[in-house]
């Protein structure tokens, strides 16, 4: 029986040496000094030799374990060399089945059932949020904490609902891998309850997108207060929060007659307390130009004799009630309508989240990020305004 000391002290000689252990196992010491574990055995009456790796990378105890496994294959009347080849091929196949490879196969199997805008947006999110941390890893090596780390980064942008949807997509990919024999379990099942709650959404019920054309036509025909009508038009075009629109001031509007008009909402008026920039499209500019004479000398876009000095909280909502939308949608819900359309149109999730002025966790970073993606957001807002014009036609 060999000892680790004997293996370690074995010296090369002019001729190769065999230091025997037991059960056919021995350490082969070449004249060049290499030390290799080998096992002699017989199969179908013929003498065979199996290699178990080099010492000290493969220790004495590991070599003995390999010998015992080989003997087990022989007892089961299996060729150890063939078993080894099969195990090697299986490992290679498993390593080739990276998360990204399986995800793209899943995507290819499903894409025919999706509209292009949705499929493009879905792949964009996978490429932006999921593939960088997980894509190159074998799908069988990915554990629940790995997935949670990736999804937490999405949550950190304030995109809580998006994080939930991306977790669901990752789960679908794992279930596809299980069905195709490349994974044994879905680790997202262990993450139930680990994500932040998106909160109650019914309070700000969004209008179904299919109802938007009829609403826009009804808004054009609205015969109530002109200022309220214009407020609703601007709300749909900019999808800011209701309070941000009602308290808007003319001093916040920049370059109205210029090539890149902008609405700069100061941090103190924002829910998340950081400055927010709203690119103004030609359609929004037209609303503001129509609104200007109605506002008179007031510093507010929507002046009112109320204590606050600007439009009350329920003015636009009651106008929607008059138009027949009681219980069907809320003013704040237009943010959801816009977000859905922009996501399905394939715009970058970060542009959308920034335009929605969602939570920025790092206050210092937020202070410098109000103009982030501004060029892309201006393009995005123009597309949204054009869509609204077409829908109202």
Single out the residue of 311, 372, 365, 360 nearest to residue 155, CA to CA: 360
Q: Judge whether 358 counts as a catalytic residue.
A: yes
Which value, in Å, is the radius of gyration of the alpha carbons in the chain? 33
Out of 67, 229, 358, 378, which one is annotated catalytic?
358
Averaged pLDDT for residues 164-179:
93
- Residues 261-290 have a mean pLDDT of 92
SS3 80: helix
- pTM for the whole thing? 0.50
How many other C-beta atoms are found inside a 10 Å radius of the C-beta of residue 288? 19
Distance CA 305, CA 377 (A): 35
Tens digit of each residue's pLDDT (9 = 90 or more) over 31-79: 988 999 999 888 877 888 888 889 999 999 999 998 988 888 777 777 7
Please give the C-alpha separations between residue 36 and each of 7, 29, 46, 81, 243, in angstroms, as whole numbers: 10, 7, 22, 17, 76
- For 99-199, CATH gives 1.10.150.130
As annotated, the residues of the chain forming the CATH 1.10.443.10 domain(s) are 203-392
- Count, residues in the chain: 393
**What pLDDT score was predicted for residue 92?**
60
Q: Which of 241, 276, 348, 378 is catalytic?
A: 241
- Residue that wins the pLDDT comparison between 309 and 23: 309
Task: Decide: 275 and 374 in contact? Cβ < 8 Å.
Answer: no
For residue 91, is pLDDT > 80? no
d(CA 59, CA 65): 10
Catalytic residue among 42, 91, 271, 361: 271
Cβ–Cβ under 8 Å, residues 38 and 28: yes
- Please report the pLDDT score of residue 367 as a whole number: 46
Sequence-distant (≥ 6) Cβ neighbours of residue 32 within 8 angstroms: 12
Q: How far is CA 267 from the centre of its chain?
A: 28
Q: Mean of the pLDDT values across residues 268-275?
A: 80
271 is catalytic: yes
Mean pLDDT for 6-22 is 89
Adjacent-strand bridge partners of 29: 17, 35
pLDDT, residue 70, reads: 85
Instruction: Convert the pLDDT of each residue in 331-356 to its tens digit.
Output: 988 999 999 999 999 999 889 999 99
- What's the confidence (pLDDT) of residue 365? 44
**296 backbone φψ class: left, alpha, beta (φ>0; ψ -120 to 50):** left
What is the Cα–Cα distance from 118 to 113, expressed in whole angstroms? 10
Share of the chain above pLDDT 70, in %: 91
**What is the DSSP secondary structure assignment for residue 127, as one 8-state letter?**
I
The CATH code of domain 203-392 reads 1.10.443.10
Whole-angstrom distance, CA of residue 353 vs CA of residue 365: 15
CATH 3.30.160.390 holds for 4-94: yes
The SS3 of residue 51 is: strand
Q: What is the mean pLDDT of residues 197-207?
A: 57
Catalytic residue among 121, 332, 348, 354: 332
pLDDT in tens, 237-258: 999 999 999 999 999 999 999 9
With 60 as the cut, is the pLDDT of residue 203 above it? no
Backbone angles phi, psi at 53, to 5 degrees: 110, 175
Nearest Cα neighbor of 301 from 238, 356, 253 is 253
Are the C-beta atoms of 150 and 171 separated by less than 8 Å?
A: no
pLDDT score recorded for residue 277 = 95
Cα separation, 298 vs 337, whole angstroms? 31
CB of 242 within 8 A of CB of 257?
Answer: no
% helix / strand / coil in the chain, to the nearest 5? Answer: 55, 10, 35
Ranges of CATH 3.30.160.390 domains, the chain? 4-94
DSSP state of 277: E
Phi, psi of 10 (to 5 degrees): -65, 130
Active site residue 332: yes
**Delimiting residues of CATH 1.10.150.130 domain(s) in the chain:** 99-199
Decide: 280 and 256 in contact? Cβ < 8 Å: yes
Is 241 one of the annotated active-site residues of the chain? yes
3-state secondary structure of 264: strand
- Candidates 125, 182, 335, 378; catalytic one: 335
Q: Can you say how many angstroms the Cα of residue 29 is from the centroid of all Cα atoms in its chain?
A: 54
């Amino acid at each position: 029986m060999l000892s680790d000391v004997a293996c370690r002290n074995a010296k090369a000689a002019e001729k190769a040496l065999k230091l025997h252990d037991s059960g056919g196992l021995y350490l082969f010491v070449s004249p060049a000094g290499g030390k290799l574990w080998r096992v002699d055995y017989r199969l179908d009456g013929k003498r065979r030799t199996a290699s178990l790796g080099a010492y000290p990378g493969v220790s004495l105890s590991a070599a003995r374990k390999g010998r015992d496994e080989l003997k087990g294959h022989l007892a089961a009347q299996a060729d150890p060399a063939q078993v080894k080849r099969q195990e090697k091929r299986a490992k290679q196949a498993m390593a080739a089945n990276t998360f990204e490879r399986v995800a793209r196969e899943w995507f290819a199997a499903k894409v025919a059932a999706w509209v292009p805008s949705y499929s493009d947006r879905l792949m964009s999110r996978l490429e932006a949020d999921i593939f960088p941390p997980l894509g190159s890893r074998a799908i069988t090596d990915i554990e629940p904490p790995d997935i949670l780390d990736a999804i937490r980064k999405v949550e950190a942008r304030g995109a809580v609902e998006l994080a939930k949807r991306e977790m669901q997509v990752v789960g679908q990919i794992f279930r596809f891998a299980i069905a195709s024999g490349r994974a044994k379990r879905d680790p997202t099942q262990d993450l139930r309850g680990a994500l932040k709650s998106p909160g109650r959404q019914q309070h700000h019920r969004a209008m179904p997108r299919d109802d938007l054309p009829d609403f826009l036509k009804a808004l054009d025909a609205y015969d109530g207060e002109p200022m309220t009508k214009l407020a609703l038009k601007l709300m749909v075009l900019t999808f800011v929060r209701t309070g941000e629109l009602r308290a808007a001031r003319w001093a916040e509007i920049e370059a109205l007659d210029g090539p890149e008009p902008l609405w700069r909402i100061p941090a103190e008026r924002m829910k998340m307390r950081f400055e927010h920039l709203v690119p103004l499209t030609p359609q929004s500019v037209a609303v503001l130009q129509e609104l200007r004479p109605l506002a008179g000398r007031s510093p507010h876009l929507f002046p009112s004799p109320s204590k606050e000095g600007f439009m009350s909280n329920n003015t636009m909502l009651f106008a929607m009630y008059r138009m027949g939308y009681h219980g069907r949608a809320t003013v704040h819900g237009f943010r959801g309508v816009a977000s859905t359309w922009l996501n399905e149109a394939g715009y970058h999730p970060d542009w959308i989240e920034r335009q929605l002025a969602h939570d920025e966790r790092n206050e210092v970073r937020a202070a410098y990020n109000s103009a982030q993606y501004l060029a892309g957001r201006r393009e995005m807002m123009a597309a949204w305004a054009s869509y609204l014009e077409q829908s109202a036609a």
